[in-house]
Amino acid sequence: MSDPQPPLIISSDTQRANRIPPRQAQTRKWPILHAGSTPTFDRSRWTFHIFGLVEKPWQRTYDEFQALPRVQVKADMHCVTRWSRLDNLWEGVSTRDVLSKVRSLPEAKFVMVHCEHGFTTNLPLADFLGKDCLFAWKHDGHDLEPDHGYPLRLVVPLLYAWKSAKWVRGIELMAEDRAGFWESWDHGGYHMRGDPWAEQRFRDH
């Protein structure tokens, strides 16, 4: 007996009359962009953590994480390097479902996403909990390629794609915002939020 089809969520940006943000160009390809090398995946040693401003930290293995209720999300992707790829179909676990496994403290307002090789990116909690946000391991019906973030990629469709961090290993809840890897001045000073429709590319914007 095959697994039931997960529910489908349609990202709001796919409903726009004009789906290409300012100074972006549509591509049918999927460029590969990241800093450093692609990490290797060891299923037996992989764990996902939620920590920081929570009553009790939470940890799961990869198999346990994949056993959570799945969703599919149809969404567009906009990279700060000026390409946009439309109608992506992602599959994984909703960020809302994942965060529901802990009790966050009232002062938690931001999330730091922690990934392999020490990579990080920061998000307002409200953006992280968007109804179209998920931790994905499938794209367009197939497992993600390692260069695109397998075994787990965060997907935040309404922000520039660097916020959809690859190779995620956990999230930290915080009271105050702080810069992640690309947001730091040492690595480009990208915008702390990254809304493509407002062209929030860099922090001096």
> pLDDT tens-digit profile of 134-186?
999 999 999 999 999 999 999 999 999 999 999 999 999 999 999 999 999 98
> Looking at residue 3, what is its pLDDT?
66
> Looking at residue 30, what is its pLDDT?
75
How is 67-97 classified by DSSP, letter by letter? TSPPEEEEEEEE-TTSEEEEEEEEEEEEHHH
Q: Are 137 and 160 in contact (CB under 8 A)?
A: no
Write out pLDDT tens, residues 35-89. Answer: 777 889 999 999 999 999 999 999 999 999 999 999 999 999 999 999 999 999 9
Residues of the chain above pLDDT 90, percent: 88
- In the predicted model, is pLDDT for residue 1 greater than 60? no
